[in-house]
Structures are given as C-alpha cells and as structure tokens.
Amino acid sequence: MGEDYIKFKLNWEKAEAFSLEKLKELNDWRNKLYGIGLIGAYENGIGFGNISIRSTGKNFFISGSATGNIEELNQEHYCEVVGFELEQNSLKCKGPIKASSESMTHAAIYESDENANAVVHVHNLKLWAELIGKVPETKKEVEYGTVEMAMEIKRLFKETEVKEKKIIVMIGHKEGVISFGKNLEEAGNIMLKYFNELVK
C-alpha cells in the first residue's frame, strides 16, 4: 500500500529542483494536510497522500514518490509530470524525485476536466467510510495507481456527477479519497469541508 510502489511505466528525467516560490502554495497546502494527518505515514513507516497542481496544458507538479512520511517538504520533493499516455500506462516526469505512484490518477482528472487545476489525495479511514454511498466512487476491484484506476476516473466523469461534487471515494483503495478544483484552495477546502463535517 506504500505510495512508493509505482505500477506504471515511468520515464524519469532527473533534473534540478524547481523554485520553491513556484511551488509555495502547493507546499503550504501539503503542510496543512500533513498537519491534520490527511497526508502522513502509517506505523510501519509507509507514507500516504499526495497533492498536485496543473502547470501548463496537461502537465502538473506533484509531490514525489515516498514523501508522505516526511514532515516538511522542500523543492527537492516535487517533480513535474510532462507527459502521459493513460491507455499505455506510461508517464514521463522530470525533477529531483520520481512522481508519486498516484500520478496516473491525477493525470486522469486533469485530462477529464480542463477546469481542474489542483488535485488532493488523502487517506483517512473514517472519512473514507462515511463518504461511501454519498459521493462518486470507484469500483471495489480497481486498485490504486493502475491504468484501470485512471480509466475508472474517466468513467466517473462520463457517468456520475463528479464534475460538480469534485470528490471521489476510492472503494478499492481503503482510506483513499480524492478532491479536485479550479485551484488548490477549492480542492483543499472541499476535502476539509467533508473532513470537518464527517470526522471531527
């Protein structure tokens, strides 16, 4: 279940870190979500949760693989996804670290909704359980980080009200919940709204 377990074909170009100024809002939101435990690590040390923001076109900046267990990220912990082929289960990224294992899921959202400019993926068992049956959900048999999950996200955009709700519960990825929005503030606040209503 570790976020460092990448299930897609990854073409990683190791490159210099991006300016932290460019990533400031992304990093601030990541710190906020880490602070309340929606991004973090299990007792076995395996990290969970990731966050991204669209850069240009379908490209996006995302927190790196296996960074969930790091308390405070810096520019060395982000990379840019610069290309992907969902059907081929392949993704290209550049930066000082490999892209998160959930990058294909983020990519599917950016491809499906041109108005989505930020994606938040968190883990919380109570929130996950409370959302089942209330918001769009992926099928139980679909695993995280797979091409099937990317296709499942695309299906939700065609068949459900996900574009309006902007939140998804991942049935086959226990504890996994995704929100998105026109910017990080919207994506983050949607997650926090459900979290504060259902969990606290």
Whether the Cβ atoms of residue 157 and residue 171 lie closer than 8 Å to each other: no
Within a domain: 67: yes
pLDDT in tens, 152-170: 999 999 999 999 999 999 9
Would 175 be classed as within a structural domain?
A: yes
> Is residue 180 assigned to a domain?
yes
Distance CA 138, CA 104 (A): 15
Tokens of 134: 């209330």
134: left (phi over 0), alpha (psi -120 to 50) or beta: alpha
Q: Is the pLDDT of residue 5 over 80?
A: no
62: containing domain: 9-198
List of residues 6+ apart from 44 with CB closer than 8 A: none
pLDDT in tens, 13-42: 999 999 888 899 999 999 999 999 999 999
CATH code for position 44: 3.40.225.10
First to last CA, the chain: 25
Q: Is the pLDDT of residue 137 over 80?
A: yes
Q: Assess if residue 1 is contained within a domain.
A: no
Contacts 24+ apart (CB under 8 A), 73-82: 73/27, 73/30, 73/31, 74/17, 74/20, 74/27, 75/17, 75/18, 75/19, 75/20, 75/23, 76/17, 78/17, 78/18, 78/23, 78/26, 78/27, 79/12, 80/18, 80/55, 81/52, 81/106, 81/107
Task: Please check whether residue 2 lies inside any domain of the structure.
Answer: no
Is residue 3, in this structure, part of any structural domain at all? no
Mean pLDDT of the chain: 93
Beta bridge partners of 54: 60
Dump pLDDT digits (tens) for 64-120.
998 999 999 999 999 999 999 999 999 999 999 999 989 999 999 999 999 999 999
Tell me whether residue 50 is in a domain: yes
Could you tell me the pTM of the whole model? 0.95
Q: How many domains does the chain have?
A: 1
pLDDT reading at 146 higher than 90: no
Tell me the sheet residues that pair with 83. Answer: 92
Domain assignment present for residue 119? The answer is yes
Rounded distance between C-alpha atoms, residue 102 and residue 98, angstroms: 11
